[in-house]
Amino acid sequence: MRLLRSVLRQLHRPLNTWTSTQFLRGIPKRRSYATSISAAELEFGQPVHETHPHILKPGEITPGITAQEYADRRAKLAFSLPEGAVAVLPSAEVKYRSGAVFYPFRQESNFLYLTGFSEPQSLAVIRKTGPSLGDYTFHLFCRPKDAFAEQWSGPWSGLRAAEDVFNADSTGDIADISTLLPPLLRDASRIYADVPLHTQDASSPSSSPSTSLTSVLRSLQTRISAVPLAPQINPLRAIKSPAEIAVMRHAGRVSGRALTSAMRRAWTSEKDLDAYLSYAFTQDGLSGPAYVPVVAGGSRGRMIHYTQNTALLREGETVLVDAGGEYGWYITDITRVWPVGGKFGAAQRDLYSAVLRVQRMSVALCRASSGLSLDEIHRAAERALQEELEKLGFEFGWKTDVIGMLFPHHVGHYVGLDVHDVPGYPRSMPLRAGHCVTIEPGVYVPDDERFPKHFRGLAVRIEDSVCVNDDGPVVLTPEAVKEVEDIEALR
Ligand code: GLY
Ligand code: MN
Ligand code: MN
């Protein structure tokens, strides 16, 4: 480690294997060095191609997403901002589960979208420097290499990688942020940042970088006020690039196969099924479950966010599984319901088939040419579901909102880096090519004598992740079978 530290201090030539991520925007970085070292001999705070060629192709910063695409995202953001604007993004911080036990680190989604840099204690600054696309500078402040600290924490990437791998125009030690940031903000016409400028207690003992950022921004506030950044990034994040769609398709393909292979087997406990899927979501490059899965036997499926997953599964019941994997930080979101014993009972089959028809109809509306929004597809799904349920003997003539009771959630949401992606981006937007959404109608029948007896206690939700195209949907998760005959044929 001591050696590593001195090597890093004395590097004298560009790390020539890093060049795949350099020379973006036609500006080669120039340094004068006298010795060379392979990047594969160094360690970074996240996989890079040189150390993890089994995970990343040359030029990629995260799986499937190149350094060029990250630079294009920053360029598009800067282009969308007013002249002289500066965007400031603090990273996420490590969160603690209990005492010294921490959760796996997950980067803040907008920071991740614009940098691909997956470390806490970091700050990204994007300054618009002119009117054209590409007129911006990118500054990435993070922890410098520190052999002693990294012996405890595992490796982090350091300042040199901020420039040479993550393509920052300048970098600096995050510990010095209170002196490094003000010069970047001094001439800003407007500062965009999603930090709690007015709410944080100034006497807070915390010295985390986001706290220092808050105090630095606060000190500038008398002449400059920060405005929310997320509304500027959301329209960019909402429309997925071909590379993002390919990444999400891979997440969907592997996750869908995992669900189908789970359906082939006879499970006796929710826990075993949960564990099987969680492992399956680490295969073929996936990094694990994208969210805490729902594995709910029988009437527990009526609890939308049932995640205890500790009960036994019983022959004669169905199991509802809402689970998906993550690939390169992009998620997939799938729900399937199947009979524990392999064959649907008559009522289970009727209710399942009704929801499946509504789901297929709703998926078909996911095309730009329909001009519909998710909200409008939701209303169409509600109407179709009510018609289906009336045919099965459900009555809707009461004063209460019966369909709202049976189908209490929205038909879908955007998906991407987050499960409920681009928070704050409205579902009233007409769908456009590149929007990625879920379609997930469900019916949860209360144990209430106003509903036909044989359906009481049943729960069905069928969910696919879908990419919107001009003329039709591209289902990202078709490998998870959903036709009654196909499910039953698996046993
Ligand atoms: N898995 C969460 C959801 O379906 O919204
Ligand atoms: Mn969902
Ligand atoms: Mn889901």
Read off the amino acid at residue 307: T
Read off the amino acid at residue 205: P
Nearest to 216 by CA among 202, 232, 199: 202
Q: Quick check: helix, strand or coil at residue 44?
A: coil
Q: How much is the pLDDT for 220?
A: 55
Local structure of residue 362 (DSSP, 8 states): H
Q: How much is the pLDDT for 219?
A: 62
Neighbours of 307 (CB within 10 A): 15
Distance 252 CA to ligand 3 centre (A): 12
Positions of the chain with pLDDT under 50:
1-34, 198-207, 222-223
Q: Which of 274, 333, 359 to mutate to test the pocket of ligand 1 (most atoms within 8 A of CB)?
A: 333
**Token pair in block for residue 356:** 């499946």
Distance 430 CA to ligand 3 centre (A): 22
Query: Helix, strand, coil: what percent of the chain each, to 5?
Result: 35, 20, 45
Q: How much is the pLDDT for 210?
A: 54
Q: Which of 322, 421, 444 to mutate to test the pocket of ligand 1 (most atoms within 8 A of CB)?
A: 322
For ligand 1, what atom is nearest to the CA of residue 294?
1
Place of tokens 């966010």: 305
Indicate which ligand has the atom closest to the C-alpha of 438.
2
CA separation for the pair 159, 399 (Å, rounded)? 64
Q: How much is the pLDDT for 400?
A: 85
Distance 331 CA to ligand 2 centre (A): 10
For ligand 1, what atom is nearest to the CA of residue 413?
5
What residue ranges in 293-425 does DSSP mark as E strands? 294-297, 318-322, 325-327, 330-331, 335-339
Indicate which ligand has the atom closest to the C-alpha of 291.
1
Q: Where is 259: in which H helix or E strand?
A: helix 242-263
pTM attached to this predicted model: 0.90
Distance 15 CA to ligand 2 centre (A): 43
Distance 411 CA to ligand 2 centre (A): 8
CA separation for the pair 184, 420 (Å, rounded)? 33
List residues near ligand 1 (CB under 6 A).
291, 322, 333, 413, 419, 440, 463
Backbone phi and psi for residue 24, each to the nearest 5 degrees, phi listed first: -70, 155
Distance 176 CA to ligand 2 centre (A): 41
Neighbours of 293 (CB within 10 A): 22
